[in-house]
């Protein structure tokens, strides 16, 4: 059975200027054990999507569409119905490990607490054993000693590992990692991605990996979904996304990646302009003011919808096939 099915998800917020649309008509699937990377610039609706799945959007958010987890509709469930799922079957790794951890409790106690919230049975010694084991799983050296330490005694990378240990404490079927490495330096980022891969091998959890960095998903994702201005612009298995890139926005993201084989010095490519605010989305294709393939009279009026460009590969562009793909 498909683990997570999101259909036509739309999230709006009432504001003083009227309704603001953060996510619009978004559909995707995650199969058991699969990693889906969701990529897009700031404000594209990535976090709002993950919050919708976890049922932690602000109350005033207006949500329509459907979010089914293991076949069960989550939209419309009460807080009491969602609580047993959250942190247990669906877990989340937050971006900022320092503020998410409790400064006055040891990391071992905090992991034990994460286990106990959903399983009151284990005794003290068993909780301690499992906490140390989890610290070991996420690659913390001397886990028994570290379990007795406080968050401030650990480096940023170590704290992020502790957060991951807490999120997998109950062996969730779905792990949502929202920018898990953004606050870390590049070496530590790579280590954290290794931990995420290792966890997947060990627990068979599906992972929703959210990032603004297309490079981060290359090594770990099975599928990639690219978002722009709240909507899906391209989705497919990781290889076609990188080698048969169809959408001009994804092509721009790829061209902005630092690459070892580009030896020339100078500034990295940047997609011109800024992503639009949800209050002022352009008419037609939301990407048209920044798109080098935009055609006046066409791209500023017609609204592109995802259409097939390959096996399980879709892109939402009115000019598909009319220009060269970026390739690798
Ligand atoms: N509570 C809110 N009220 C009104 N608008 C909101 C609210 N929360 C988010 N938004 C808007 O929804 C849009 C999507 O936000 P979201 O946080 O999902 O972006 P993101 O892709 O996660 O960006 P980032 O990479 O910066 O984390 C943003 O433009 C934001 O302004
Ligand atoms: S529809 Fe037009 S503006 Fe939008 S991505 Fe395609 S070519 Fe560019
Ligand atoms: Mg975000």
**163-174 confidence digits (pLDDT tens):** 989 988 888 999
Residue 34 lies in a domain: no
Q: Is the pLDDT of residue 280 over 90?
A: no
Give the position of tokens 């995650």. 30
Taking the centre of ligand 2 as the mean of its atom positions, its distance from the CA of residue 308, in whole angstroms, is 16
From 155-164, 186-195, 256-265, 274-283, the region with the lowest mean pLDDT: 256-265
Would you place residue 181 in the very low, low, confident or very high pLDDT band (cuts 50, 70, 90)?
A: confident
Residue 65 lies in a domain: no
The pLDDT score that the predictor gives to residue 313 is: 97
Long-range Cβ contacts of 140-147 (<8 Å, 24+ apart): 140/165, 146/107, 146/108, 147/106, 147/107, 147/108, 147/111
Residue 15 lies in a domain: no
When divided into structural domains, the chain yields a total of: 1
| Whether 159 contacts 152, CB under 8 Å | no
The pLDDT score that the predictor gives to residue 148 is: 96
- Summary mean pLDDT of the chain: 90
Alpha carbons 18 and 198: distance in angstroms, whole number: 45
Alpha carbons 173 and 147: distance in angstroms, whole number: 25
Residue 318 lies in a domain: yes
Mutation pick for ligand 1 pocket among 37, 42, 60, 226 (CB with most ligand atoms within 8 Å): 42
Residue 216 lies in a domain: no
Contacts of 245 by beta carbon, 8 Å cutoff, 6+ apart: 234, 251, 254, 325, 326, 327
The pLDDT score that the predictor gives to residue 265 is: 59
Taking the centre of ligand 3 as the mean of its atom positions, its distance from the CA of residue 186, in whole angstroms, is 19
- pLDDT tens for each residue of 291-302: 999 999 999 999
- pLDDT tens for each residue of 31-82: 999 999 999 999 999 999 999 999 999 999 999 999 999 999 999 999 999 9
Q: Which element (helix H / strand E) includes 130?
A: helix 124-137
Q: Is the pLDDT of residue 108 over 50?
A: yes
Residue 307 lies in a domain: yes
Enclosing domain of residue 253:
222-328
Residue 157 lies in a domain: no
Residue 327 lies in a domain: yes
Taking the centre of ligand 3 as the mean of its atom positions, its distance from the CA of residue 68, in whole angstroms, is 22
């Amino acid at each position: 059975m498909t683990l997570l099915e999101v259909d036509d998800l739309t999230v709006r917020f009432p504001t003083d200027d009227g309704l603001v649309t953060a996510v619009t008509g978004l559909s995707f699937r995650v199969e058991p054990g699969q990693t889906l990377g969701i990529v897009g610039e700031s404000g594209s609706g990535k976090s709002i999507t993950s919050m919708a799945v976890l049922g932690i959007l602000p109350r005033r958010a207006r949500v329509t569409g459907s979010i089914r987890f293991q076949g069960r509709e989550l939209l419309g469930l009460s807080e009491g119905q969602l609580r047993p799922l959250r942190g247990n079957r669906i877990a989340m790794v937050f971006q900022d490990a320092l503020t998410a951890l409790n400064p006055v409790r040891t990391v071992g106690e905090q992991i034990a607490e994460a286990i106990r919230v959903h399983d009151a049975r284990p005794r003290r010694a068993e909780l301690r054993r499992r906490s140390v084991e989890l610290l070991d799983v996420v690659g913390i050296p001397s886990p028994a000693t570290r379990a007795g330490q406080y968050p401030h005694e650990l480096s940023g990378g170590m704290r992020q590992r502790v957060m991951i240990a807490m999120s997998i404490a109950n062996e969730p079927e779905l792990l949502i990692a929202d920018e898990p490495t953004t606050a870390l330096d590049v070496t530590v980022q790579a280590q954290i991605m290794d931990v995420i891969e290792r966890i997947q091998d060990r627990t068979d959890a599906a992972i929703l990996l959210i990032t603004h960095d297309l490079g981060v998903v290359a090594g770990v994702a099975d599928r990639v979904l690219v978002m722009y201005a709240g909507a899906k612009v391209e989705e497919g298995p990781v290889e076609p996304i990188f080698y048969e890139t169809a959408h001009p926005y994804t092509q721009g993201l790829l061209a902005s990646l630092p690459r070892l084989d580009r030896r020339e010095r100078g500034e990295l490519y940047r997609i011109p302009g800024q992503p639009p605010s949800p209050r002022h989305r352009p008419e037609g294709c939301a990407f048209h003011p920044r798109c080098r393939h935009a055609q006046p009279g066409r791209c500023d009026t017609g609204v592109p919808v995802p259409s097939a460009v390959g096996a399980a590969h879709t892109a939402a562009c009115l000019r598909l096939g009319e220009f060269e793909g970026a390739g690798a």
